[in-house]
Structure 1
Amino acid sequence: MAQPADPSRRSSRPKTAPDAPESAAGNRAAAQRLKMRRELASAAMELFATKGYEATTVDEIAAAAGVARRTFFRHFRSKEEAIFPDHDDTLVRAEAVLNAAPPHEHPLDTVCRGIKEVMRMYASSPAVSVERYRLTREVPTLREREIASVARYERLFTRYLLGHFDERDHHAGNDDPLLAEVAASAVVTAHNHVLRRWLRAGGEGDVEAQLDHAFAIVRETFGSGIGAGRTAPASPSAAEPPALVSMAPKDEVLVAVARTDAPLDDVMRTIERALQTRRA
């Protein structure tokens, strides 16, 4: 684990502020890069629609965008890649959502928020997204490229969920590793189902509300099980109390001790499990 920085070393550094200009310059460069990628993608899609995918060349795409061939290849490795200009940036944004998640947010909720960045990418340009969908259905090469892009998101979310549980911890009753992997796939599948339905409807309707409904189903199906197989430490530290500890029922009374910042759903699930154990 990384050690905290030494305050004395931090204070001894010269008080200069080069980071802000450098950061601003980096942001401008990134924005210009994305703008050029989108212009090339727009030119490519117009040519694909009028000439057909197979008949369109990289030289024609570059010329339509008003740039040289070498400029095209600075941004894309092939013409099929040009039709998906935003996936790299969206993947970065989705990962940023995961990295900035509040410590007590259910990891499945975090993943659902992360994949919303993907939906927002499509929803920001409905007409382009609908046309892209039509092309990917007609051109196998583009369909394969889209599948590969989706797989990157699924790997990201699976790693995130598995990172909250010990993948090697397969003791009896602990299904967290299995649930984490299945839940990540379920989130991606739910997202893709809603996205396809929205695209087939011509990009009409409140797609984010539809997505929230789908995620509620995933959360209800998988969310309550994740974490159920873990046990609290035998001797919790006073300095670091566990998120939730339930004490064995005695004389028909159940005593539960919870941190004030423990999620209410987790508290209720633990109490429910303890009551069920008592009744059994």
Structure 2
Amino acid sequence: MRRRRYGQGIALGAMCVLSLGIIFSMRTIKDQAVVAASGTPVDITGMSGDTYQVKELHTLEDGSYVVYGTAKGFASDIETAVTFDKTGENILSLEIVSQGETDGIGSKVTEDAFLSQFHDITAPIKVADLEVVSPTTGKVNTSGEAAATTELAGEDYSSSEWNPGDTSPEANAMRTLYAAGLLASSKNGEKLSTPLTDLSPEDQAKAKLQKANLLVSGSEEEPAGEPVNVTDMDAISGATVSSKAVAVTINNGYFFLKEAVLNK
């Protein structure tokens, strides 16, 4: 009887060791798969990652880069993972890592209809009313596709066509002012532009200062930085702030690679 119990104990112990070995092997395989998918982490200490709002940088086997960055959205911080090719010039893919934007509006940044725009395109990018800005050198000159983004209004254009999903008092007031010819865009024959409430706090402050004639006209000075070609992207209707936040993370990642990583 004792021999039988002794033998059962040995068998049980062997099974436990075998099970632990299988579990360890599975975890090792899983960890290797995660590393293969996300790449090899790069130490960005001393690269001013905070300035670019870049949290992490990974490299993939083909030499491309995955930049993890954040920017302030409408209701939350939006974190993205942007894959650039080895030159840092081209965006290969975009992933939303985390966000807490308004369901059905800002949360649309996670949908394929929005994300699919960012496959195999040239960086940096531009969405409505977004300045292409290097966090270290300031605003840069833009050229290329973004140079002719102003849309002129045809004779049959109605301000009611602008952003129909936004029924806020501010948006309705903008439509009324445009129809009455009291906005610069209507006077210039342009389609209705983004209302003040859709702008960032910094842009709102700038617009108010300009209205009070407290700023030097931007047309008298050339923006700082070298000219860059930009790619125009479609913002999500009713979610301009969320769209701009995603674009900011992409552009910050682009400038981070060009200025802090590849030019070292």
Q: TM-score, normalised by structure 1?
A: 0.24
- Tell me which protein shows more helix as a share of its residues: 1
- Tell me which protein shows more strand as a share of its residues: 2
